[in-house]
Amino acid sequence: MANIVVGKKDEMVMKILHYFVTEENYRPIIVNGVQNEIWLENLENDISLIRININYIHNEEQLMTDMRKVSIIRKTIKKKTYSFKMHVLNILLDVRDEVNLIEDKNIDSVKINKINDLKKNDIINTFFPKFRDKVMNKNAGIMGMFQMTEELNDKTNKDDKKLAKVFRNNRLPVVTISLIVINIIVYLISMISVGNYEFMINTFANYYVNVQKGEVWRLVTSIFVHTGLLHLLCNMVTLYAVGPIAERYYGKIKYLLIYIGSGILGSLLSVVLSNYASVGASGAIYGLFASIIFFGYKYRATLDGFLRSNVVPVVIINLILSFMIPGIDVFGHIGGLVGGFLFSYALCVPSKEKVSDHINGFIITIILFIALGYLLIIKK
């Protein structure tokens, strides 16, 4: 049986690919119009894109053309994923020795002849300190190539299953249904026991004078009270439309915390900036809109066009209507929207959790609550 020889360049590509996928959670992406190069993305990393180029570059002019191509692809992906910044690590595996690399503030190019060249690179050591120890050192050979291929496939399968679990659509939205039922029951109680909603409004509505006196429960109870059947119907239809999506994305507990937290922050901003009593689930529902936008941003590489074509236009239209239609608690809506972002940030999107996000999100949220509470106390 003839020995199978593994090419040096193929072995380097596999080692690099294996490390970044299995150790740094990058994933391959399809870039149209390129040949003999591999693109990897991890938008959670300081270096968002890694490009591995196998093509031979023999002079500065060819390198300049190649850099322009990388820059165009970078800008396209940056725009498509709504990223504020995007840094590229450009790994060149076949460059003539006499060719000098071109500096670019957004693209760090590295030319290598062997894997040890990457281990000595300052960029690699700064951003990927595990590379030196985790990347395969010795010649891989055919068995090593099989092993790395198998580990790559296992990692990809695990990531696909994790992603499918997040996006699965076969779960009953128990929390959403429960919230709708509670809102309906509260409305029916107000109608049956009193014959109108005046008692519920006077007792549970969100009004700064009452909250200043210590009736802080109004910040919560006002979320479940509505001024009439039409008000209730509009909010519950909207909740039924967006609630199951947010519940599916975040899970029941996080979803409920986002809903209640957004409603409270909306109520708090309303009593600080408004002099009118307010009720309704709108602030909490706006918080759900914000949580879906936050989720879509975190998964923007997966949910292509999701934010632009689905959620954001709906939120913008609703906010415009809030300013145009008299009697709507605009501040409650804005507060709910801000609360949705902050609680989503603090609680984190599934499979995208970071300890730093938990800490920063909770700190910002607490500071905002304290600031609004102080403004409420001194309000006259």
Three-state SS for 29? Answer: strand
260 contacts 285 by C-beta, under 8 angstroms: no
What pLDDT is attached to residue 34? 83
- Please give the C-alpha separations between residue 153 and each of 38, 273, 294, in angstroms, as whole numbers: 16, 55, 30
Choice among 333, 344, 356, 358 that is catalytic: 333
| pTM for the whole structure | 0.77
CB-count exposure of residue 115 (10 Å: 0-12, 13-18, 19+): buried
Note the pLDDT of residue 349: 83
pLDDT of residue 132: 84
- The one-letter amino acid at 101: L
CB 301 within 8 A of CB 41: yes
Task: Count, in order, helices (H) and strands (E) of the chain.
Answer: 17, 5
Amino acid identity, position 10: D
Is residue 80 within 8 Å of 31, Cβ to Cβ?
no
Catalytic residue check, 278:
no
User: How far is the C-alpha of 218 from the C-alpha of 207, rounded, in Å?
Assistant: 8
Catalytic residue status for 71: no
Question: Which of 83, 190, 282, 291 does the annotation list as catalytic?
Answer: 282
Give residues with Cβ within 8 angstroms of 168, minimum separation 6: 248
What's the rounded Cα separation, in Å, for the pair 365 and 371? 10
Question: In a structure prediction context, what are the per-residue pLDDT tens digits for the chain, which is 380 residues long?
Answer: 345 445 677 788 888 888 898 888 898 888 877 888 999 988 888 899 999 999 888 888 999 999 999 999 999 888 888 788 899 999 998 888 888 888 889 999 998 888 888 888 888 889 998 888 888 665 666 666 777 788 888 887 887 777 777 767 667 899 999 999 999 999 888 777 655 556 777 788 888 888 998 999 999 999 999 888 888 998 998 899 889 989 988 989 999 999 999 999 999 999 999 888 889 899 999 999 999 888 888 887 666 655 555 666 666 776 676 666 666 788 999 999 999 999 999 998 877 777 888 899 999 999 999 999 999 998 87
Judge contact between 340 and 319, C-beta under 8 A.
Answer: no
